Structure 1
């Protein structure tokens, strides 16, 4: 298998560490260098101890553009635009950005949600990876939106693990704050709502519903649980049929007849969905790993698509289960 010369820019955080964990074992990836300004000169396995014995690379603060075929950008939100203005990569280099900077499909970037944009991603050289909450919410609601079932207001709640806040310490990510605790943040005003509405309008040009999203901070490390509901006059059989038809070609999104739980997806690139029809409402549950299907795993999925590889290459991961 051909080795694709790859670099990771901004690889010291949680998503960078997950990218490394996936790519060091990816059969088509040759990691040329790993960039970090804060960790330059340190071995990768010192910063990410889970990679002891798997990666001998040393972090560098130098940016090499020549000969690089794929670049993953794990920079903080708002810094990617400036970085790409300063560092010019070959137009044929595939750039996958994990920040919010290009999710509005500006500057030639394709929005990297494979369940909707697979054919675009396969041709793209610039890919904007979706946000974690955005991925889980979109996958929960896309079939209903496409069918025109999502009208007026859509009620959504979601709880995310502490790794969703990033590696940099903040009061609300400290162990003493999170443990035995829950809290709401960015009520009805989460930054991911813009990209969600953009995708919903793509699959249904008549979509104009208001998304009322309540995000919770959870007292666990990994995973996202979404609950969404909307008025529905159909049967559970009709709902299941629509969802299964929409996701028939999806490599990682599955509709379950059984009740689901978060541990089914932790450490995997899966999204698992469960539906119920009750009291005139279609209730949708959606679970993902925020660091994988919500970030680094989906980025590798997009890498595979952009280079014509098996979509599941390097992502055949088993959940922790218990």
Structure 2
């Protein structure tokens, strides 16, 4: 078994990583690092793990682990790696946005690979350092990458997506606490969201000149999941679009094309992405849905780890949604 360390284990993504890795047959959690909760049981921060583990948080880091997951706030992974030198064989999977863009991917001799398996499978398998994609970025990219691969993003793409409150992190804020979020919906960062950069770089790797993206993110009054709709002009038939997407995702273990319209509950608590296509006149509507904490964060991180170590891609990720 390989030894895994988790840095920043008291947040949502750290908690989901622990939950997954506790049942992973090829991994043993060596430590869960938290400077604010050192000496306290992991279940004090993640009560859903009560009875599943007696592990305690620690402020000590084992630099010889086989893989380390960085579940730190954006901008903090760079600082942490400057002060903690892991062994030359340790694989690093970063869940922040520090290394996602091409201009940031090289850091102190480390070359981070963008960890979207449906796009960069071969590179991930041979990588030592992974930049895990953002949650909105994952949802949107999986919805429109097949069009870019076919050079069919020739027109404007309008994207509207709504995310649950866990996307804002575990620390409460003015727009994430219950009294404000409940029975409420609002948009934020219209057309300027930070995930646009990684989306555009991925699309550009498949189609050099693509139509302008107009992205409107929304806050939803639920806890987990992202539902995104994107539409653009498409001259082919619905059947042709379905064939295009079916071919693109024919080898994907976690991304599936649905003939019926999809709902968020189908993917919450899973590492799956569901996609549905709808044609109206000359417009193709693409709906995609993921769990922001799993396929949009911790689940995809484990998926990347499985690929990097040659484990079965779905190992530890055979999770079922609760649709009732």
Q: Which shows bigger deviation, 268-277 or 52-61?
A: 52-61
Q: Check if 1:177 corresponds to 2:180.
A: yes
Q: Which residue of 2 aligns with 1:50?
A: 48
1:46 to partner: Cα distance:
1.4
The count of residues paired between Structure 1 and Structure 2 equals 318
Query: Secondary structure of 1:226's partner?
Result: strand
Q: 5+ unaligned residues in a row in structure 1: which ranges?
A: none
Q: Which residue of 2 aligns with 1:252?
A: 254
TM-score when scaled to structure 1?
A: 0.97
The answer on whether the counterparts of 1:200 and 1:207 sit within 8 Å (CA) in structure 2 is: no
The answer on whether the counterparts of 1:91 and 1:125 sit within 8 Å (CA) in structure 2 is: no
Q: Distance in 1 between matches of 2:89 and 2:77?
A: 18
Q: How does 1:193-204 map to 2 (within 5 A)?
A: 193-204=196-207
Q: Which residue of 2 aligns with 1:159?
A: 162
Q: Which residue of 2 aligns with 1:306?
A: 308
Please give the per-residue CA displacement for 1:4-43, whole angstroms capped at 9, x wherever unaligned. 1110000100011000100111101111100011111110
Q: How does 1:15-94 map to 2 (within 5 A)?
A: 15-66=13-64, 68-94=65-91
Q: Of the candidates 192, 196, 212, which is equivalent to residue 214 of structure 2?
A: 212
Q: Of the candidates 269, 274, 292, which is equivalent to residue 294 of structure 2?
A: 292
Please give the per-residue CA displacement for 1:216-269, whole angstroms capped at 9, x wherever unaligned. 000000100000000011100000000000001101000000111100000000
Q: How does 1:90-239 map to 2 (within 5 A)?
A: 90-105=87-102, 106-107=105-106, 108-204=111-207, 206-239=208-241
CA RMSD of the aligned region, Å?
0.8
TM-score when scaled to structure 2?
A: 0.97
Q: Distance in 1 between matches of 2:43 and 2:117?
A: 31
The answer on whether the counterparts of 2:148 and 2:210 sit within 8 Å (CA) in structure 1 is: no
The answer on whether the counterparts of 2:148 and 2:203 sit within 8 Å (CA) in structure 1 is: yes
1:209 to partner: Cα distance:
2.4
Q: Distance in 2 between matches of 1:91 and 1:123?
A: 15
